[in-house]
Amino acid sequence: MKTVKHLLDTKQARVISVPENISVLDALKIMTEKNISAMLVMENEKLTGIFTERDYARKIILQGKSSKDTLIKEVMTADPITINTSDSIDHCMQLMTEEHIRHLPIVVNSEVKGMMSIGDVVKFIIADQKQTISQLESYISG
């Protein structure tokens, strides 16, 4: 059974985060610069929330708030659902589907190790299936 650790081993390990007191506008600039759609919110190396494009659309734009004058801590999703490196990819897919979320922070012993997106999961599953097909073809023709 493939786990989050297997997926993490295939992608560049990086944790992009902002503090709670940053403006939404400044966070959006970082997200644009890094070409990401979700960002972790951390204080003293502790995960306190996650901010996504969906949060922006629903909590800023539709509420008529100013992204320049609103702090991330006011609109982030506090205490987000997290996963561990030992969790199965199937479990992560189930969580994302049931909770209608696209990003899962990866936390081990209170330390943030990264974040997994639904795109990461799909790419990982496709690559794993291609490898399985290749092995089966080799077995059959070998």
Of 13 and 140, more confident? 140
Range of the domain at 24: 4-141
Residues 90-99: pLDDT tens digits? 999 999 999 9
Number of domains in the chain: 1
Nearest to 49 by CA among 118, 117, 105, 124: 105
Q: What is the CATH number of the domain that holds 67?
A: 3.10.580.10
* Rounded Cα gap, residues 104 and 116, in angstroms: 5
Q: Which amino acid is at 117?
A: S
Residues 63-120: pLDDT tens digits? 889 999 999 999 999 999 999 999 999 999 999 999 999 999 999 999 999 999 999 9
First to last CA, the chain: 26
Residue pair 49/20 in contact by the 8 Å Cβ criterion: yes
pLDDT of residue 34: 94
Q: Model's pTM, two decimal places?
A: 0.88
